[in-house]
Amino acid sequence: MQSMQLSIVDYVILVSYFVFVLGIGWALRRHMKTSTDFFLSGRAIPAWITGLAFISANLGAQEVIGMGASGAKYGIMTSHFYWVGAIPAMVFVGIFMMPFYYGSKARSVPEYLKLRFDEKTRGLNAISFTVMTVFSSGVSMYALAKLFELLLGWNFHVSIIISGAIVLIYIFMGGLTSAIYTEVLQFFLIVLGFLPLVLLGLKDAGGWTGLQAKLAMVSSARGFGAGAWSDSWSYMSTPSANPMGVDMFGMVMGLGFVLSFGYWCTDFLVVQRAMAANSMSAARRTPLIAAIPKMFFPFLVILPGMIAIGLTYAGGSGGFALPMKEGGVYDYDLAIPMMLAHYFPSGMLGLGLTALMASFMSGMAGNVTAFNTVLTYDIYQSYVRPNQSDAHYLWMGRMATIFGIALSMAAAYVAAKFNNIMDLLQLVFAFVNAPLFATFLLGMFWKRTTGHAAFFGLLSGTGAAALHHGLTKPLGALTLIKGGWLGTIVHTYPSEMAQNFWTAIFAWTTCFLVTILISFLTAQKKSEGELKGLVYSLTPRIKEEGVPWYKSPAFLGVVVMLAVIILNILFW
């Protein structure tokens, strides 16, 4: 394997980046006077900044490394995670849901659930969310430390401590504003750090047509039709025709509807960025502005993976080849790091590694700021010590930040020790998340939905997900963590991804139906006055006054949807 040798210039760039993010926290420390400043940036951030932070916060380890890996493993079909699995949901949350999140003055997503439904629904969401964010930032940390150990020979513990300490310091000082500002910085760093890699790789592969020819070799070597790696939709009529093993219905419903809307519309990690915006109009524009760069991210993170696998099969000028894991399968996770090592000389290598570091840190900071807000407002203020002074909750926010980072570090070590526990936890989170969007959809658009219905609907959706997972398994699964742990196998899916999509579909449908049923059987405890601003039919229509037409959410939404349709057609 090609290892990396860093020279002084690379370290200068990396260290300067650390100085800049810490400097931003330092400059903001005097502005954190109230808990609203710390947790919601005083609701004073312009839309272009919250929009870029909206993408960056979601841009953790899974994005850069994982999407590059999927690009190599599945080809351009990975772009469905953007063009189907992100953009439509981002447009929906901006146009239809943000009026309730921002307008209700809820300070978090669980708090919205408390206002709309009841205490127990909030508690359920707050607790599962805090546990989940800590574990995802822990997994992110673990992945970073492992990667830098492998590539550069850095000590695993030192990487964990340094990355954790830096994120801790700047959030401790500047709260959400620090996180948002550094996320914008990280956004530009990621784009400008990876773009030259894509350009060099594409040049080496002979442009898009050259890459298509190389990917055709990959496709035929794996027994698929020629365009299976370079066409996003053409091979989706049956699961067996494409490397992902999914069909169009499972993709559009499972990923495009349930999973995508469940994440982008209900996950406080991203919604918090929009809540920090300086006006209702800016809050609604946040996800729409985010959608514009987001739709081009496949070219930045998926394309390098496709180039990596294409060159491995066909051979480029310098003989790039993906390394193998033990057992003779390609180590897809190394696609982007190996491309960096292959094409970047020292100097640019420092920039590329800094961009990689930035992507990990922005994801971790996103998790930590969402964690400290929910922990302080929805757990501490609600159940532990209510009716304290605002200064007390500001102090608690800082303590929650330390606590969150410490737990993330602990989770990183758990991930290092027991791989299975982490897989199991991620599976449980998937069960918890899958039905969420049904609850929000009914809560926001049907005033009859009751608190009991929301709570038991969520539980039944999670139960349905677990049951479906226990009764099915993907082809060739060896461990029970992949499914089938109930003993009887009712159905075998062609791939793990297809199974995941269908688990989500079952969970969502169950939650949706059970919530409706229980709503009819239970009494609505909230009066119409209480639900004003929380439910569509009881909220006055928003008039975007003083906002020019090109800044109106409806116009931006239409433009974004048209652009994404064009991208789908171009790469059909």
Partner 1 sequence: MHIDIRYPIGAMFSLFGAILTIYGLTTSSSSIYARSLGFNINFWWGLVLLGFGVIMLALAWRGSPKQKTS
- Is 24 or 436 the residue whose CB approaches partner 1 more closely? 24
Chain-centroid distance of CA 478 in Å reads 28
Secondary structure of 500-524 as H, E, C letters: HHHHHHHHHHHHHHHHHHHHHHCCC
- Beta strands 491-493 and 472-474 are parallel
CB of 227 to partner 1, least distance (A): 27
Distance CA 3, CA 152 (A): 7
- Is 318 or 476 the residue whose CB approaches partner 1 more closely? 318
CB of 9 to partner 1, least distance (A): 5
Q: In the complex, which residues of this chain contact partner 1 (CB under 8 A)?
A: 9, 12-13, 16-17, 20, 23-24, 27-28, 31, 41, 44, 49, 177, 181, 184-185, 188, 192, 196, 200, 203-204, 317-318, 342-348, 351
CB of 12 to partner 1, least distance (A): 6
- Is 187 or 456 the residue whose CB approaches partner 1 more closely? 187
CB of 340 to partner 1, least distance (A): 11
Distance CA 459, CA 475 (A): 28
Whole-angstrom CA distances from 334 to 143, 272, 326, 383 are 11, 32, 14, 45
DSSP letter assigned to residue 75: G
CB of 283 to partner 1, least distance (A): 17
- Is 195 or 410 the residue whose CB approaches partner 1 more closely? 195
CB of 198 to partner 1, least distance (A): 12
Residue position matching structure tokens 């989500």: 504
- Is 14 or 471 the residue whose CB approaches partner 1 more closely? 14
Q: 353 phi and psi, to 5 degrees?
A: -65, -35
CB of 524 to partner 1, least distance (A): 42
- Is 50 or 499 the residue whose CB approaches partner 1 more closely? 50
**Paired strand residues for 493:** 474
Distance CA 177, CA 166 (A): 15
Q: Is 192 exposed, middle or buried (0-12, 13-18, 19+ CB in 10 A)?
A: exposed
- Is 31 or 392 the residue whose CB approaches partner 1 more closely? 31
Question: Sign of the C-alpha dihedral, residues 373, 391, 401, 376?
Answer: negative
Distance CA 272, CA 39 (A): 9
- Is 199 or 421 the residue whose CB approaches partner 1 more closely? 199
Distance CA 286, CA 455 (A): 29
Q: Which two tokens stand for residue 300?
A: 């930045």
For 26-60, give one letter per residue: b (16+ CB within 10 A) or e.
eebeebbeebbbbbbbbbebebebbbbbbbbbbbb
- Is 31 or 120 the residue whose CB approaches partner 1 more closely? 31
**CA 464, 467, 468 angle in degrees (round to 5)?**
85
CB of 206 to partner 1, least distance (A): 12
- Is 17 or 83 the residue whose CB approaches partner 1 more closely? 17
Distance CA 283, CA 50 (A): 8
CB of 552 to partner 1, least distance (A): 20
CB of 204 to partner 1, least distance (A): 6
What number of H helices and E strands is found in the chain?
Answer: 27, 2
